[in-house]
Structure 1
Amino acid sequence: MCQVDEDYHNQLHQAEVPSVSKKCVKCKEAAAAVVIRAGDTYCRDCFKEYFIHKFRAMLGKNRVIFPGEKVMLAVSGGPSSCSMLSQVQEGLSQNAHKKLRFLPGIVFIDEGGAVGQSVEERERTLAELKAVFKATGFPYHMVPLEQVLDLPSSVVVTGPSPSERPASAYKEAVDHFIESNCRSCLTPLEPEETSLADFQSHTQLLQQLIGSAKTLTAREDMLNTLRQHLLVHTARTKGYSKLMLGDNCTRLAVKLLANISLGRGAQLAQDTGFADSRYGDIVLVRPMRDYSAKEITYYNRIFNVPSVLIPSLDSKTTEKSSIQHLTESFVTKLQADFPSTVSTIYRTSEKLQTACKSSSTADPCDRCLLCMCTLDIAVESASAFNATLISEQLSQTNLSGATSASIPKQLPASHWEASTGPCCSSGGGENCGKTASVGGCCLPAKVPETSDLRSLLCYSCQLTVKDMLTVEILPQYILSEAQRRQRRSQMKEEISEFLLDDADEGD
């Protein structure tokens, strides 16, 4: 214990704070230009070598991208995705030490219509990004988010995944790529641009769709889902097999905590892992997941990597405006005082694995209609999820005081309010084909109700749809796929007694 009369003869030594006046920890000669962490000081040349090596080591360690494959880079204009574009451009240069061997393309999703930007502001942003993309020499595609309203239903259907290749196949692919000398494959194609005037009628519909969510949390989640659907559709139609995202370590740490708060704990392995194969034929890859936002900012500033500032839904909002924004504020403030916060959360995400069957092998009807992950609602009857559903059913009553469970799912509440007599159709037993909103008394099953969609959604997406004013405003490709799955489920129920179970097949 501390003694009052104890003499302290040894002087206390002050802890040394790293500064740029020190020498580089790698070459031990040049003066340090960057302090990444305590004790990690690098000069300009060593920092560049360290940054490039980390990117290529991430791709080489996982070996997901094979030589000669077409890889689409999803560039949002932010520092992380622009730094990823710079690394790919550096890796394909003639003097690169370990050259990258895939064929890159660029895609940019213009979200200006969803955040309320004017046409002039959107065109100005596109012009800045076009200059950046042209300097790379890669083919690029600039797609407005309004195009998501015209997507086919195949977007939310898992494509046929390629068969797994043995470990020796990677080396064989490298040798074949070197022998064939695929430099001609890197010839830039004609860039594809879409005029904003072609989608002006869709802009208002897109804004209504995003605005139908009552909370900013649900709006951000819906926007992220629509963006991902459009990215996957663009990659499929253009012949790309991999989609490279610019999520960095800081962003993934925020995403992990935010997704747990949003009820996406079962999907964390897909949402934060290096490779995500939920779409089957298109694999999402995150090569920037080892970089912190601080490292990327330093690299872009020192080596003049251009980026474009684009407003988002949470721009100029308070930190408590959404769960995602609040989590980001919490993590960044904690990181300022405790520098190992982000790395600790990130290392935790690396150890996560899903207990259910993988998304690439699951039945299409066992996936969420929006996020395409394996459904997590098949739980025990004594679970907290089922308790929540029972409590919600008991609290919901119709106008007459009866419970909502007594109302058939095929007939929404608007039908009971509008239908006061026999059917207006001549046959009396047939649907008139008109909805209640246009004066008819019958509502065919053209638009699934919220209660019908819940069985097709994971828990987190159920919360997002629950915050929406109506499901009728969802894009048509989602509603069409919902109808197809419901018909398939109904047909399976009708013939269930004639089907063999897996246990019976084994016998």
Structure 2
Amino acid sequence: MCQVGEDYGEPAPREPPPAPRPSREHKCVKCKEAQPVVVIRAGDAFCRDCFKAFYIHKFRAMLGKNRLIFPGEKVLLAWSGGPSSSSMVRQVLEGLSQDSAKRLRFVPGVIFIDEGAACGRSPEERAKTLAEVKPILQAIGFPWHVVALEEVFSLPPSVLRCSSQEPAAPDGAYKAAVDNFLQQQHVLGAGGGPGLAHGEEPLPQPRAQSAWDLQSLVRPPAAAQTEALSHLFCSVRTLTAKEELLQTLRVHLILHVARAHGYSKVMTGDSCTRLAIKLMTNLALGRGAFLAWDTGFSDERHGDVVVVRPMREHTLKEVAFYNRLFSVPSVFTPAVDTKAPEKASIHRLMEAFILRLQIQFPSTVSTVYRTSEKLAKAPRDGPAAGTCGPRCLLCMCTLDVDTADSATAFGVQTASHLSQIQSPTPLTETGTPQGLCCSPGGASRREDPQACIAEQLCYGCRVNMKDLPSLEPLPPYILAEAQLRTQRAWVLAELRDCLIEDSEDEVGQS
């Protein structure tokens, strides 16, 4: 296959000419009257008002088409300070305003996670970022939560347990809920406010707060937790594993905050471009079995808290134009891959590949994104709904690895890898690794604790765990849940063996 830009004795093809700017003779493709100010695609030139209406319609249509957020529900907006999540917060803010034609009817809150310790930032740099974040949160007026990533070291093990999921609402339940909400709002009168169900409190209005009040609402992380988090990310060998670990810890922390404050939905600002990159990246990382959950509109793997992606129809180009034209504030926060070379991780390499291909073939992102829409969310063992089988310890997806099948290439590779690992965890007096008991049937014997955790991980998480040489830096809630699951499995195995022996004895006596 010919490669663009390679030297085969002929000059490389010239770069394609830039798209022509809209001249004064051109008109908006929507209203046919105003002068265009932005060109989204070739031939799609919009004026300022039509582009805003087009942008808002995408957001509202995505929520209205899926009908997952019922009136009066509490929704947590995951705001990272970036362009996409900032634009998502602006859409919700405008949708709840009195001037909106079809107002949103849910109760929003905002969460911002400070990930400075994982990125190696100094306390002064983190304080400067928080000083930029707090005025924006104050201007929004929603209930907000500023949480440091270090708080994962104080999470309970119950975060990793899949709560019972409510059965799917029957057809017509959404319309009935909306009608009931409108009737209650009409009875309560104008004092009820938008997005309120019976018994709900009105949304908090923006109020003036001093810098001292805002500073007192944010609890600084403990120095020991900051050091533990820095040690954890420094011990990971590759940047790919660091990015996956950071994403996992971030999801666990958001899930805990949502459950602690009664949020049933979490909104993320994943754009169409970002989801296309994520789809190809997850394929390279061996997470192809979970693409429908990782890139779809809704993610119900956690049961009681559902993650939704209402920005998945917007491209990064559209988001950038909207934020520029309508002055949407955002905060730049360095990530673990900031200033990293293109080949430093699979995430960076796939991002550069997709964006470079998008320049040459403008339909690349759209094609990949439309492919993700066709993926079905079917359990691995069958289409039966409501079954909650073994879940991955980290990503909480259904396990896609058969532990009993050692004939596959992955089974041989895993067995060979685990046999070469030396246990880094101190042993107790009985010879059992401290914090983890890996002796089936109650008999104490030495066994690597990573083998116990690896059995509870999906394929993609197992590959990433290979880049973590020791289990000691992991947060305690992960180790505690792994120990609990292992002990539960041993108890069930003992009961099953006892039942088999009793049945054999009965057969022998008869």
Q: TM-score range by the shorter chain?
A: 0.7 to 0.9
**Which residue pairs with 2:44 in the alignment?**
40
**Which residue pairs with 2:78 in the alignment?**
74
| TM-score, reference length from structure 2 | 0.83
Mark the CA change 1:467 to 1:95 in structure 2 (over 3 Å): closer, same or farther. Answer: same
**Residues 413-443 of structure 1, C-alpha deviation per residue, up to 9 Å, x if partnerless?**
569xx99xxx9x6xxxx569979xxxxxxx9
Shift, 1:90, TM fit: 0.6
Equivalent residues in 2 for 1:266-415, closer than 5 Å: 266-355=289-378, 356=380, 361-363=386-388, 366-378=390-402, 381=405, 386-391=408-413, 393-394=415-416, 413=423
Given that 1:18 and 1:35 are in contact with CA atoms closer than 8 Å, whether structure 2 keeps it comes out as no
Does residue 185 (structure 1) correspond to residue 231 (structure 2)? The answer is no
Question: Unpaired runs of 5+ in structure 2?
Answer: 1-16, 186-191, 194-200, 208-213, 436-442, 501-510
**Residues 60-115 of structure 1, C-alpha deviation per residue, up to 9 Å, x if partnerless?**
00000001100000000000000000000010010101110000000000001111
Q: Give SS of 2:147's match.
A: strand
Equivalent residues in 2 for 1:37-116, closer than 5 Å: 37-116=41-120
Shift, 1:179, TM fit: 2.5
Given that 1:448 and 1:471 are in contact with CA atoms closer than 8 Å, whether structure 2 keeps it comes out as no
Mark the CA change 1:237 to 1:432 in structure 2 (over 3 Å): closer, same or farther. Answer: closer
Does residue 19 (structure 1) correspond to residue 29 (structure 2)? The answer is no
Superposition CA RMSD, Å: 2.9
Shift, 1:195, TM fit: 2.5
Q: Distance in 2 between matches of 1:268 and 1:46?
A: 34
Residue type matched to 1:371 in 2? Answer: C
Does residue 456 (structure 1) correspond to residue 456 (structure 2)? The answer is yes
Shift, 1:162, TM fit: 2.2
Given that 1:35 and 1:41 are in contact with CA atoms closer than 8 Å, whether structure 2 keeps it comes out as yes
Given that 2:39 and 2:45 are in contact with CA atoms closer than 8 Å, whether structure 1 keeps it comes out as yes
Given that 2:432 and 2:445 are in contact with CA atoms closer than 8 Å, whether structure 1 keeps it comes out as no
Moved more, 117-126 or 366-375: 117-126
Given that 2:236 and 2:467 are in contact with CA atoms closer than 8 Å, whether structure 1 keeps it comes out as yes
Q: Give SS of 2:27's match.
A: coil
**Which residue pairs with 1:493 in the alignment?**
493
Equivalent residues in 2 for 1:128-167, closer than 5 Å: 128-167=132-171
Moved more, 354-363 or 17-26: 354-363
Given that 2:281 and 2:350 are in contact with CA atoms closer than 8 Å, whether structure 1 keeps it comes out as yes
Q: Distance in 1 between matches of 2:383 and 2:116?
A: 35
Q: Distance in 1 between matches of 2:144 and 2:73?
A: 16
Q: Distance in 2 between matches of 1:451 and 1:115?
A: 29
Does residue 484 (structure 1) correspond to residue 484 (structure 2)? The answer is yes
Q: Give SS of 1:115's match.
A: coil
Shift, 1:266, TM fit: 0.3
Q: Distance in 1 between matches of 2:445 and 2:219?
A: 36
Q: Distance in 2 between matches of 1:61 and 1:54?
A: 10
Shift, 1:16, TM fit: 11
Given that 2:433 and 2:446 are in contact with CA atoms closer than 8 Å, whether structure 1 keeps it comes out as no
Q: Distance in 1 between matches of 2:368 and 2:293?
A: 16
Q: Distance in 2 between matches of 1:108 and 1:16?
A: 38
**Which residue pairs with 2:7 in the alignment?**
none
Given that 2:432 and 2:446 are in contact with CA atoms closer than 8 Å, whether structure 1 keeps it comes out as no
* Identical-residue share of aligned pairs (%): 49
Mark the CA change 1:273 to 1:389 in structure 2 (over 3 Å): closer, same or farther. Answer: same
Residue type matched to 2:462 in 1? Answer: Q
Shift, 1:345, TM fit: 0.3
Given that 1:243 and 1:282 are in contact with CA atoms closer than 8 Å, whether structure 2 keeps it comes out as yes
Residue type matched to 1:34 in 2? Answer: V
**Residues 204-249 of structure 1, C-alpha deviation per residue, up to 9 Å, x if partnerless?**
1001111221000000000000000000000000110000000000
Given that 2:431 and 2:445 are in contact with CA atoms closer than 8 Å, whether structure 1 keeps it comes out as no
Q: Distance in 2 between matches of 1:312 and 1:354?
A: 31
Given that 1:146 and 1:206 are in contact with CA atoms closer than 8 Å, whether structure 2 keeps it comes out as yes
Given that 1:156 and 1:372 are in contact with CA atoms closer than 8 Å, whether structure 2 keeps it comes out as yes
Mark the CA change 1:289 to 1:394 in structure 2 (over 3 Å): closer, same or farther. Answer: closer
Given that 1:77 and 1:308 are in contact with CA atoms closer than 8 Å, whether structure 2 keeps it comes out as yes
| TM-score, reference length from structure 1 | 0.83
Mark the CA change 1:92 to 1:432 in structure 2 (over 3 Å): closer, same or farther. Answer: closer
Q: Distance in 2 between matches of 1:445 and 1:33?
A: 71
